[in-house]
Amino acid sequence: VFRVSGTSAREVIAKLAPVDMSAAEFGADDFRRTRLAQVAAAFWMSDSDSVDVVCFRSVAQYMFDLLSTVAQPGSEVGVYA
């Protein structure tokens, strides 16, 4: 399980998943089972600025690397800010 938090949490997930992460479409306590890049995963908004991501342990390092890469400072697109 990974937690992505902060004002850009929605954007980080939106870069990887085919999901509309706007607050109007995906709010606190919403849950989605989908893929993040090439990995089956599920995620939910635990609050307005935090997303919990769950995936198989066998792809945990890939998921960590993926989330770390798309969350790099300076890579913001600004869609959900």
| Packing angle, helices 60-70 and 9-16, rounded to 10 | 120
Question: Distances in Å between the alpha carbon of 68 and those of 8, 11, 21?
Answer: 13, 13, 19
The reported pTM is: 0.89
Q: What is the pLDDT of residue 48?
A: 86
Tens digit of pLDDT per residue, the chain (81 long)? 999 999 899 999 999 999 999 999 998 889 999 999 999 999 999 988 899 999 999 999 999 999 999 999 888 888 776
